[in-house]
Amino acid sequence: MALSLVIGGVFAWADNSQHKSNVVTGGGKTEKDDVVLVDDFEEPPDWLEDDELKKEVWVKNTGEGQIYVRLQLKEYLEIAKVTYTYTDEFLLVDSDGKFVSGNNVASLKAWLDENGVPYTDAQFKQYTPYGETAAKYFFITDATTNVSGKYGKRLLLDYVQAAPESLVPGVVRGTYENTLNHQSHPTSECLYTPHTWEGADPEDCELGFHEYVGWGLGAPLILLSGWDGQPVAAWILDDSNDQGWAYWGEALRPGDETSKLLETITLIKQPEGPFYYALHVDMQAADIYQLKAEFTDIPDLVNDSYRGKIGFYISPDLQSAFQGGKVDFKAYWNGTALDAADVTWAVANIDAASMNPATRFNAPGVLTVADTQATGKLLVTAAYTSAGGPKTRQFVITVKAK
């Protein structure tokens, strides 16, 4: 069967409502935020049952400030269902698998006599095969007429292909747009059905709203219903509603990228006719100042985690610093500010083998960057002991030349 298949394409979009991308700013800070949705897929010429296709989806932070991201995966499937009509009877076939037939009973009997096939007059019947206009005589098999297979085959009489029909009533096929039209939001493909995350285990979420396509999700994954709200480098699958958002479980820092939310898709059941399947990816990104406005209906647990109201959290006043500069950190426990002296602070150089000893915390929560500190990234680690035991958080600071 021929099919039409659309599942994204290979894109590197830059946008805070991606499918396409915008630069986002706010809060009076000077860092430029930018984010790229990566969708790596190569469309096959045909898609057959059990075929697994690479379909990788993740997000990169290409800007200078930390951001928060969420993804929504939407599906559309339409099938032009085919109805086949066969004879109830099984008809004789020859050793090549072709139906034994004749324009009249006499010619058919002559073939049977020549090949030693016994018969009765009740075994002859007229049918008009599919694609032909004239009726022919065929021989109905029984247990003794086994020229090729004990019971022969059923003859195809009719083939009807219905108009394509969406599996979700009222949802229509959108325009497959990976060009300039994606600068507008929403597009017609944004109206597709969100993939939801219902299930007792993330692996149970790999089947969409239908039985035909299965997904190979990436890792790590955590259902919102089982998350403790602690910031974590994992996708949080919102299983509390039918919107299907997946939230990255912590701030995405400059230069960092998420793990892959999706890795593969597989046709696990062949549809009953030619079909068209589309998988549309929507992304939203926001800095901390835009969070509530951009992430409508964000779950309280996700919002509180992003804003440092749950568990141990550290927040710098700057995400980059010049050589010779300073960065002030504040620490929080369940949303309450901690005395910086109650926290153990450390810094290490990510990009070089040695650390400039003059770059250090010379006061609790105050990082001093040496004049001769090499440009690049510094990893700040903070440790705090709560009633529940020791907790640690890390943050990356970018050092710039004066």
What's the pLDDT tens digit per position in 157-186? 998 888 888 988 888 887 655 444 445 556
Percent of residues, the chain, with pLDDT higher than 90: 33
Quick one: tokens of 84? 């086949």
pLDDT tens by residue, 126-150: 999 999 999 999 999 876 666 555 5
Which of 127-136, 167-176, 246-255, 321-330 bottoms out in mean pLDDT, i.e. has the lowest? 167-176
What's the rounded mean pLDDT across residues 8-15?
Answer: 30
What's the rounded mean pLDDT across residues 338-356?
Answer: 86
- The predicted pLDDT at position 168 comes to 87
Residue with tokens 């285990």: 201
- The predicted pLDDT at position 358 comes to 93
Q: Can you give the C-alpha Rg of the chain in angstroms?
A: 32
Measure the CA–CA gap between 386 and 384, rounded to whole angstroms.
6
Which residues are CB-neighbours of 314 under 8 A, at least 6 positions away?
329, 330, 331, 332, 343, 380, 382, 393, 395
pLDDT tens by residue, 264-293: 988 888 888 888 888 888 889 988 888 888
- Mean pLDDT, the chain, rounded, equals 82
CB 312 within 8 A of CB 333: yes
- The predicted pLDDT at position 20 comes to 31
CB 65 within 8 A of CB 29: yes
| Backbone angles phi and psi of 147, in degrees to 5 | -60, -45
Which of 32-46, 254-268, 331-345, 379-393 bottoms out in mean pLDDT, i.e. has the lowest? 32-46
Q: Does the pTM exceed 0.95?
A: no
CB 137 within 8 A of CB 130: no
**Residue 261 pLDDT greater than 70, yes or no:** yes
Name the nearest CA neighbour of 275 among 47, 24, 84, 119. 47
pLDDT category at 339 given cuts 50, 70, 90 is very high
Domains present along the chain, CATH in parentheses: 4-80+167-304 (no CATH), 83-159 (no CATH), 312-400 (2.60.40.10)
pLDDT category at 8 given cuts 50, 70, 90 is very low
**Residue 246 pLDDT greater than 70, yes or no:** yes
CB 288 within 8 A of CB 253: no
pLDDT category at 318 given cuts 50, 70, 90 is confident
User: Which has more pLDDT, 351 or 15?
Assistant: 351
- The predicted pLDDT at position 150 comes to 58
Name the nearest CA neighbour of 1 among 275, 259, 358, 341. 275
